[in-house]
Amino acid sequence: MSDASTQAKFSNPAPLGLAGFALTTWLLSMINAGWFAGEAMGMVLACALAYGGTAQAIAGVMELPRGNTFGATAFLSYGAFWWSFALFVLFLHDKVPAAFVGWYLCLWGVFTFYMWLGTFRAPRALQLIFLALWITFFLLAAGEWTGMPGLHQAGGYMGLLTAVLAFYLSAAEIINDSQQRTVLPVGASRAM
């Protein structure tokens, strides 16, 4: 039997995972929103591989010993999303029909939707990230299916909102923990 003083305390990997997600999402969403053209994609890909993909995967693995199934699933999945996105752009972009890309984005939207359902007892900030993200995926999918630039651009703007929300929660977890008080509110979690 061990007491609390001898148990290992694992650091919170969520700020790392959220920041990796937010920064990479912001960069890609600026292109999707039409702020920058495709020649900016190289920086997105570098970030997708190093920060969005790898750092999130590390955060996901760090969630495992903490027993956080949701965090592990989210960070490992979205880390893999960024790796798959980078590989797609680098090697397959001109070889995959837009309708199939639409399905790729739609299925990420389905995954994100049920992850959002899993946040209903979590802080409001986390709920809002997943709400904005599943809407982003569905708008981008619809843009691929219809060829309507306005839907793609709307997905870009929703992606920017998603990134801002993820940056906020990452900052709140770091700042609130370091100050040992609530500086940036995240919305109360509901008790089970």
- pLDDT tens for each residue of 46-61: 999 999 999 999 999 9
Residue where the block lists tokens 């990452």: 170
CA distances from 40 to 12, 115, 170 (A): 32, 30, 25
pLDDT at 6: 52
CA distances from 187 to 115, 138, 180 (A): 18, 26, 16
Q: What would the two tokens of residue 59 be? A: 């955060």
Distance CA 65, CA 67 (A): 5
Alpha helix locations (H) across 48-186?
56-63, 69-87, 98-117, 124-146, 149-179
CA nearest neighbour of 159 among 115, 114, 93, 108: 108
- The verdict on pTM exceeding 0.85 is yes
Write out residues in the chain with pLDDT < 50, as ranges.
1
pLDDT at 4: 53
pLDDT at 192: 52
Q: What would the two tokens of residue 51 be? A: 């920060």
Specify whether the backbone of 147 is left (phi greater than 0), alpha (psi in -120 to 50) or beta. left
Residue where the block lists tokens 């397959």: 92
C-alpha R_g of the chain: 17
CA nearest neighbour of 129 among 143, 118, 140: 118
Is 20 within 8 Å of 55 (Cβ atoms)? Answer: yes
What 3-state DSSP class applies to 39? helix
CA distances from 90 to 33, 46, 94, 95 (A): 21, 11, 10, 11
In the chain the first and final C-alpha atoms are separated, in Å, by 27
CA nearest neighbour of 127 among 186, 52, 79: 186
